[in-house]
């Protein structure tokens, strides 16, 4: 039986090396991301990047029946290129643990006023320094926009801190985390929330979801956390909400565009904590992304159904 040919846009990265059990059944063929392709190039599988590459359309015409995107979001991937009968999968859930930990870290930092509560010199009154008005997560309401792998992992950790967790779901289905209350409207989600966490995919329906109306539904002093995509937020509306006190702090790991241009107001606003889309980072993070592809590759070779299939109509 001929080996399954896997076309790869990932270059010579050792992270996606084939394990011994697949070495005799799979042939890994590097494919350039730009320029002309070998006319004889053929393959059943394509592992590619979560954004468009120059040779993508041409590579897909070389017999590909399954495409795997090495990331969670596919909003930058040209879904219209996926032809009939071709399956698209991604590595959703691979980064849920580190991202959810990052969310909890930002919420704790907000409540405990870190790092601004740290001392760099002896205060005039040390006791006064100990009696700062610090907050707590216990009893606070967390509003999750999205209850997929990242949202669920965040909810589980928030519940351990005795938070009240409510989540917005696109589909009418039970919560994967039983203690989480689900709602179907954004207004119901935001009502009374202390922390609002964005963990939803970017689709035409969610672009600009957190805008003037959404901020109008939030209570003053809310903490906004974005670990999804910057375009979920109307950044002009966010600036107004920060300035009028509706949003007390915005912890942003995703902005639009990325990277922000030099001099952008988000770099210097006193109520913004900005990080360069690194909440997914953890020891072995890249290896875990690769492992999800390898597990699906075993299924493909064995003729079994693939996991983490992207709904092309929904966009995630």
Catalogue the active-site residues. 229, 258, 277
Q: How far is CA 155 from CA 96, 165, 221, in A?
A: 11, 7, 21
> Helix (H) and strand (E) counts for the chain?
9, 12
CA distance 67 to 86: 7
Q: If you write DSSP's letter for every residue of 76-118 in order, what string do you get?
A: TS-GGG--TT-EEEE-TTTTHHHHHHHHHHHHHHHHHTTTTTS
Q: What per-residue string of b and e applies to 89-99 under the rule 16 or more CB within 10 Å gives b?
A: bbbbbbbbbbb
Vertex 107 angle, CA 103 and 138, to 5°:
120
Q: 149 — phi, psi (to 5°)?
A: -65, -45
CA distance 188 to 192: 9
CA dihedral 200, 231, 267, 249 (to 10 degrees): -50
CA distance 98 to 281: 6
């Amino acid at each position: 039986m001929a080996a399954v040919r896997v076309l790869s846009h990932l270059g010579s990265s050792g992270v996606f090396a084939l394990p011994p059990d697949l070495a005799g059944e799979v042939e890994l063929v590097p494919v350039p991301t730009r320029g002309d392709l070998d006319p004889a190039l053929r393959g059943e599988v394509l592992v590619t990047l979560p954004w468009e590459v120059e040779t993508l359309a041409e590579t897909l015409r070389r017999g590909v029946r399954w495409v795997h995107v090495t990331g969670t979001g596919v909003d930058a991937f040209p879904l219209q290129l996926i032809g009939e009968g071709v399956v698209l999968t991604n590595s959703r859930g691979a980064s849920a643990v580190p991202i959810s930990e990052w969310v909890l870290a930002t919420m704790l930092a907000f409540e405990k006023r870190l790092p601004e509560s740290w001392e760099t010199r002896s205060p005039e009154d040390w006791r006064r320094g100990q009696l700062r008005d610090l907050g707590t997560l216990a009893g606070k309401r967390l509003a999750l926009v999205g209850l997929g792998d990242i949202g669920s992992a965040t909810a589980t950790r928030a519940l351990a801190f005795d938070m009240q967790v409510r989540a917005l779901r696109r589909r009418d289905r039970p919560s994967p985390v039983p203690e989480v209350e689900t709602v179907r409207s954004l207004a119901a989600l935001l009502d009374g929330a202390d922390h609002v966490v964005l963990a939803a995919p970017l689709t035409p329906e969610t672009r600009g979801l957190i805008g003037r109306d959404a901020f109008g539904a939030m209570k003053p002093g809310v903490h906004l956390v974005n670990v999804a995509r910057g375009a979920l937020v109307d950044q002009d509306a966010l600036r107004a909400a920060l300035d009028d006190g509706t949003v007390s702090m915005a912890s942003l790991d995703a902005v639009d565009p990325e990277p922000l241009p030099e001099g952008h107001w988000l770099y210097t606003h006193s109520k913004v904590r900005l990080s360069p889309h690194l909440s997914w980072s953890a020891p072995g993070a890249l290896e875990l992304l690769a492992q999800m592809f390898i597990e699906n590759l075993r299924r493909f070779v064995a003729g079994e159904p693939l996991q983490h299939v992207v709904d092309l109509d929904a966009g995630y």
